[in-house]
Structures are given as structure tokens and as C-alpha cells.
A and B are shown apart, each in its own frame.
Chain A
């Protein structure tokens, strides 16, 4: 467990001790086990069941070393290094004959049943078992018996299952059950007939199941989408990138071959994703390879009803023609799924008044509030690793398992802290995983969840309150006032009106050393968010260790809250005027309807996901020219007059801002092919900022908070700064260009990457090798070091001490948190007293809506991955059975939900674990409809012979039909078993 990596936030101070390993004295960190210490020293010690994030259980016995009592002791005692804490002056040997012999026999025993199918195994060459077998010097097979065999299971579209390869290290079940809280993977049987799988074939339920491919030290669980376009590890070009889906900004390594992305692996970031990602991050790369990727600039010819392919020069000319003529009448829409630079370039082109954010107004309002809070108050979001160290948590109406999945995994670890504390009392270290769990049993840290429906985390919640949003507000107000009383020291009279729930939440938060408040923008409720901020703020003043996190909705949406605040931030005026400055898509439609607009540039946003489709059609028809810069042919792109193909996250460099306020730089894995360009490059001549450096300087001058982007711009000058470059590929025996030999026998020079110090070949410094060539050698373009061919070598050779925190490489690796962390404790509780306005807004016949998030359905780009799309649930409206009874609705009925200008039809399902008087609908529809709607019944299953998922209302007209199409539903290619 990387607890020691949290640096200054770590409660226990990092101290070192010295020990002797094979007659050499080393200094290592206290409080770790011997195996971890050896690996961090870069020593080669084989292991299987230990995992840096999951600790030790002592099952595989592979990491045995000899321990000596003192310098006179020559006999020694065999100990399992993973189960042995380091201690001052301890003497151990990895090289002595006895322990080497034991490790050799042990791996020979492990290999008795392992098939020798390495040539056809996808793990081959990237296999921890292969590495360990060689490292333990098991060369001759002596076991004369037969091997046991198993039947494999179908585990869904994400993972292959090949049980014969299993070496029974128990890592998969420990990860799946203990670490992620999953229940449908287990170990069956006993003795040498262990079976790791499900009770019966079926899709693995956990949103983190994909990690099993990396957790498994051999090829039992392998990446299924990868096997559809498999490549050996050493034929992949890799680069460090940032995940383009949810707002957490997890770090990935992309693997590319022949112009297509083949796989995603986790890139360890000690403050964010650690060793694990969610399935969306792991498998959500298919949009890069998708057939709907735009390749060339396209112009629609309305008269001839054709589409012409343009050269990039023609496209540039047309672009400047469209944009330059009506200077005041060119409107642009920024994107949440592009890098900051691209939005910046667009903002420069059209100016603030003409720039609209590619999100709904309600969303933009929340982002503004968050940015303002982070900037003005002492609240700033915690990192995921810090969250894992908290000891009491309140989650306010955000289904983080689906809106920010990796965050939910961190909350799971947080909830173990009470148990870890118990274990620590008995002198058991946190990495003694089995012992800790036996001591902790069902002990959980306080976790209170205020939610509209039971979620995956409900099972580890000490108190789950499933409440209607209006009841949630009441509860939060109670909590806020209890905390205010505490802060102001007013006499606490036992107020009868305050609920017990509020009291118990406040008690837990106040008695915690590090309380944590988690919320998000999922519910689009400004009142809820302001109350959450208010509570966190008060708590922060009572306890400076208080943590806060607000999950936002897309990879790069938080910076949109900053973009249009550039001027108002400088001026003293803020508050209400700020709220009115929201320029989201709803405002855009309003403007398009009231004003004649010459040119509309839409950057990487599919407007149809956010707005009522009829209304949008009408609005777009009024615009003279529509320019779309996008990676994919979205529905919006198909409405454009000029389409410019953009690079995807795999082909572009750029910064993004995570919901943690962390600015991170993402590298291109491959060079752009066809006529694709980064959006800012399409605009660069128009805005007269031809180079990346100039663009970044303009952005940082405009938005002071983003000034730190300039550090990343240094990268573009890196070729001048250092002669050393990092290899994208691992070392291999074949020649550099042999990979292209099937296409062309001539050896071509690798493409020179001018933007980053990463070579498109295996030449250069390997990513993880600790060399004297500082600082670039640590940037993990690929993962390889001698004897450690598999990705698991990553946990080796990592000194847990933080290097100089502001060195260039550490910025690349860790990003920069942009919001001030130590600002004064001024109480500027953002005031959004919209309760009255909301109350007046909804009259009696309106029903409250809530969003039902799903990690497979909500992220636009991930929808292009067939495997993920096939896991997305059906689009339904869920209602509490009692409410349904009251409204005389039955399961399967189709209802229409409508507001003044939007309408959606959905089939009902009943859900008894949600709040009453509330309809929960998929996030995408929720963002279109808003929070209060009216509803009518459309049909019941008995009346319609063919119950459709969505039905047009009876009065439907032609465009109405179109509006009700599910946007971009990919056909799901379900695996055949």
C-alpha cells in the first residue's frame, strides 16, 4: 500500500532505518515489509501474492529470504519477506543457497500445473510469472505427473478466462472481493483444484473487473478487447496520457500499433489512480479507432446535397472566410472533452461574449460555483490518496461509483481505516492484509450517504439515507445549522426538531480526525451544492484537516468554470452577477433563437446530447454557417457546413484540469494521420498564435489560475534542453523498423516528435530505469527494466521518497494543483438562495427528476467502445413502487416526461430502494429535461404489442420522432459463448 507516498499529509512521519542485505547496508523506510523494501531498493526478489496496493497474505511463499539473528548466526532462518516487517539492524540474505533453493523448488511446484502455452498466451512477454520463473532459476521440469485441467467461463465482454494457467496466488479474489467489494468472483474448490471464477458463467459485475487482467500475474484473466487486435507488448508504442472520460484525471498508458490504439494500461499516479482504473478508463479507447472518426476536412454542399472532401489548405481558407467576415457575429461552443488549449484558442477567436460552454447552463452554474469556492475559500479538493486516509465521510447525493468510479474505490479504502486502526492497536501493520481483515471483521469507518437511490457503496455505509431531493436539502440545512452552532459556540439546546440522522452525521464528522465531504454536480442542484460547500467550509474552520471533493461530470469540465470568469475574477464584483454570466448551451439556443448568427463553431461537442433535439434543429437551421471541429461524426457534425477533423486524446498533446483541480499534461501516443489536426492547430493562424508556446502564454495571461500551464509548455522546448529522449517502445531484439516490414521492406526513419522528448522507437532511455540521466528517465513512456518484462515491474525500483517536488519531471508525472491551498479562512459562503425561486418554479403537478448515472452509459466517448456500450443498462425511468401505485403506474408502462420545450418517453421500472415521489432517469435525459417535469402516460405493455424503449407521444409530428431517437446508440456486439 502506498500509504507512505502521501508525503506531507501522512500522519506517521517517514523515518528510515538501516538493514543489511547480502552484506550491504541499506537505508529503507520504516513501517514496511522486507519484500517492499527490497523491491524499492531495486533488488530482484520474486513474488506473486503480494501486491503494493493489497498488501501481504503470505500465500505463495515465493519471496522467501534468509534472516540471521546476528552477525555470528550462520544457519539463518527462512522467512517470507512479505510477512516480515523491516527492523533496525536486521540481517538478511537473498543470495544464500538455502533460500535460492527454496525459491527454485517453490516455483517448480507452482509450475507443476501451469500449461506451457506461452507462445499463444496473450500474457507472453508481459508475464509476471515468466519473469519470476526465470528470476527463480527454474529451468528443468522435474515433476513427472499430469497437469490438472479446468473448464473456462464466459466473464463478459471485457475479460478472457483461461483457468488452466492459474497459479493460485489469490490476487484476483483479493482484489475483486476485498479491495473492490465485488461478490460475484470467488475461489471454489480446495487443495490443488482451486477454481477462481464465478458460480456460473456470466458478466462480471464490478466496474473495476478489468483490472483483473493486470492483477493476475499470468494469463488467467486477459484483456478481451485487446485480444481482438492483439499485439505483443514490445511492438506497442506507448505514451503517458490522461484518461478522457470522467473528471478524476486518472493516468493511463496507451499502447498503439500501426495507427490504432490497442490497449490501455494503468499508469501509476500515487495521488490519483494508484494501481487501478475503472472499466471505462481501461476499455474506453475504441473511439480512436472507430469507423466514424473524421479523416479529412469536409464541406457540405447544400444545393447538390453532397459532401466534398477538402484539402487542409482549402479547409483553412474556408474557415477564415467563415470566421473573419462577420466579426461580431461568430459564436463558438467550447468542449468538455478536449484539452484546455483548444478551448483557449477558440475563446481567443470569438471573445468571451461569443463563447459558450459545451454544457447545460445548470452544469455551468455549478462549475462556476466550484471554481469560485476553490479560489476564494480555504476549501480545495483532496487527492484520492488523501481521501483514503480520511476517517469519516459524508457523501451528498452523488453516485460516485458511476460518475467518478475510481473515487468510489478510494472511498472503499477509506472505510477500512477504522479496522486498520484496531489492527494497529494490536501492533499489526496495515500491509498485513489477512491479519488486518481478521481483526477488523465488519468494522467500518463512518460513512454517511445522502442519496436518492441505494448505490453500490450503500453496503459499506454506516448510515444510508435514501431521500427525496427536497428532504435532502432539509437534512443538509439541519447539519449546516448544527455545525454553525458549534462554530459560533452558541449554546446547544437539545433541539427536538433536528433529526437523529443529522445529529449522528454531525457527531461523526466532528469526532473524526480527518472528516471528508464528498459531493458532485450529478443532481444539477445549485442549492444542494452550495449547502455542501457551506457545510464543508464550516467543518474546515472547526477542523483544518477537513477534506472536500466534488466530482464533476466530464474529463475536462472544471476549467470551463474558469474560462468565462477571467474578467470577473479580477474585478471586485462577483456573487449574483457571476451567476447571471453563465453561458451554457441553453443560453446558446436562446441566443440563436433571438439573434441572427452568421457562424457557429462547435468544438468537440455533440449538442444533441444536451438539448432537446427539435428545438436544437430549429435553432441550428437559423445559423448561416456551422463549423464543427470534432474527432467523430456526431449528429451535430452531420449538421455542419464545414467539418474539420480533430485529433483524439491519443494523437494530441495538451492539458486538462481534473475535478481535483489538478492540471495534467497528456502526451500523444501516435502522430496524427490523415488530415487530422489538434483543434488549436486548425485555429492557430486565425488567432495569430502559431505555436503551442504562444497559445499557452496567451491563456495563462488571460486566466491567472491556469498560468501553471506554462510549465508544460517547457516540454515543447525539450529537444533543445536535453539530448536524451525516452523510448516509446520496450527494448527488443528485432530491428527498429521490422514492424513495418510487412508493408514496406525499406527501412523508414521513425517520425520525429517535436512536441515531446519521446521517441517513436525503442531508442532512448527506458521509462522506469533509474539512470543517471535525470530528470527525463522517470517519465514512464514505457515500463521495462532488466528481468522485469511485465507491467508489474512498475512496483519495483520506486523509492517512496518524494523527489524534488517542483522538478520538471515531477510536474509531468504528477501534474500541478492550481487552486490555492492555504488561502485565508475567509467565510464567503457562496449565496444561492434559490430555494424560494425553485419552490415557486415547481407547481403541484410537476414531478422531481433525478439522474441515474451509469459509468458505461454516461461518458460520450466511451460509448464508441462496443464492449462498454454492451454493458450499458437500458434507458428506463425508475420509480418507487409506492409512488407508482399512487400514480397508477406499473412496471413496463411507458411515460412521457415533458417540460415547456423538451420531451422524452421512457419505460418505467419499479425500484424499491429509491426515494418516493421521484423519477430517476438516465443522466443524458436528465441533463436535457432539468429537475422538474410533468408527465403523462403513453402506453401500457398490454396495449402496445411491441413495447418500445422510447415511444413518441400520441401527438407526435415528424421532428418529434427524430427527437426521440437515442443519440448515438452503438449496436452492441455481444460475445457469443
Chain B
């Protein structure tokens, strides 16, 4: 099971945030929901906090799609090959100096490596990692690794899931269980729909990969799809090698999609009565078709399993977009009136 989402440092922070508001609600006897007259502060605090969390949660989406579309600011940092090569050559010389004992401490080495990267104009792209070398080997190992300025999407995902869950609870504290208008009910309903599908997504992401991995023990979905295509090509080639009349009959039979290998075998038996020289090619074809059917059913099953993992997103994402729009209207109207 993939428990990394639960082990993230953002998970306890989100829990603390929710517990903080819940504790305050109990201590101050502030009821959840629309109690503007008596607990305006609590209402506003939960509202703004929920809005802030929603913005944080949306940042993940923004970062993901900005990168996919090539709009992410990191792309502007790209450096040319000549600069990389220049830095690489100088780092190579630095390693020689390290081996000669010119730079005895990791700190000095790191600062020198960073200076080289800066001078070659690649410091925004690469950074130096210095570690002690293995016994009997080089005194220090200098590795050049990407800077990854915005952090990996996986970390943003931790933020998204942790604060997205917290958002659900804050929304409940803000709106209560009985909103007094249709708009309120809509916001609450949509909010909890997004929350529930998100929780479902977290659960599926936690257990799904193992489930799928067990299911596709022999062939991954990528391999199975590639294998199916390859078998299709082989089948076409095998058909081409048959005499034209027999190939025509086989094609018409395949067009009718025989349900079992027996159907194909029967037909091949019948055809081979009239054309014994075609027997080996027909047997090859039968074997290919049988294998193709097995792989096709495997691909179908794997696709079904994968669709199960992704189906929740088909509702989570559009509903979340509608929710964001309505929240914007809600905030604007509160601000104005």
C-alpha cells in the first residue's frame, strides 16, 4: 500500500488546523454554520481559512497544467549545451583538484562547485551535491543534480490532498449542516461531493497500484497494448502469406469475430482439406489469433481496472471547477454586501 500521502508532513499540519478550529468552536461555544449575529468572527475566520486552503489546493492544479503546457517559469531557465559542457569540464577539473587534496572540506568544495556553476551560467539549472567518498576511493564525490526550483509534483500532491481534506472540514464548520438558502445548500453539496471524491481518490491511490500490479503480474498495461498491436501486425503478415482465396475466407471469418478457438480450428480443418500446403501457415495464423484473443481480453481487463482508478477524477475535477466558480461568486457577494 502506498502510504506516502498519509506520511506527508502536511498531513499533521492539516489535522492541527482542523483541530484548532474545532477546539476554538467548543471552547468559545461557537456553533457551526450561519450565526452572524453572535459569532461573526468564527464564521469569517473559517470562511477565509477555507478560501485560503482552496487557493493552496488549486495551486497544485495550476502548477501541474502550467508545466504540462510549457508555461511554467522553469522553462525560461533553460541553458544551452555549450554552457553545460563548460561547467562539466570545469567540475571535472575540480574533481582532479579534490583528489590532489587542494580542497579538504565538503563546504569548500560545494562553494567552489557552486561558483563554477554560477560563472558558467548554469546555477539556476544545476546544483552541486558533495558527499564523502567511499573508503579507499576519492575523498569526496561531487554530483551535479537539477535544482528542481518548484519542487516535485508529488510534494504538491501531498499539499493538495492534505489541505483539500482540511478544506472539507472547514467548509462544514463555516456552513454548518443546515444552510438557509439554496445557494448555501449548493455550495455545501458541491463542496462535500468534491471532498468525498477526493477521499475516494486518496484511498484508490493508496491501494490501487498494488491491486493493479498484482492483476498485471505477467504483462503491464503498456506491454499488453504493445503486444496486442504486434500480434495484429503479425496476423496481417500471416494472412498476406496465404493464398488469396483462403486469405479471403479467413478475413471474412475474422470479420464475424468467432467466439472460441474451436471455431477457428474447425474452419482451418475444413480449409486444410482443400489446401494441405497451406497447413503450416494456417496453424501459425490460428496460434496468433488465439494468442491475440487472450491478450485482448487481458488488455480489456486491465483497462477496466485502470478506468476504475481514474473514473473518480471525471467527476472530481468538473465539480471542483464549478465549486471554485460558485465560491468566487459567494466571496464577491459577501464582500460587496
A and B bound? no
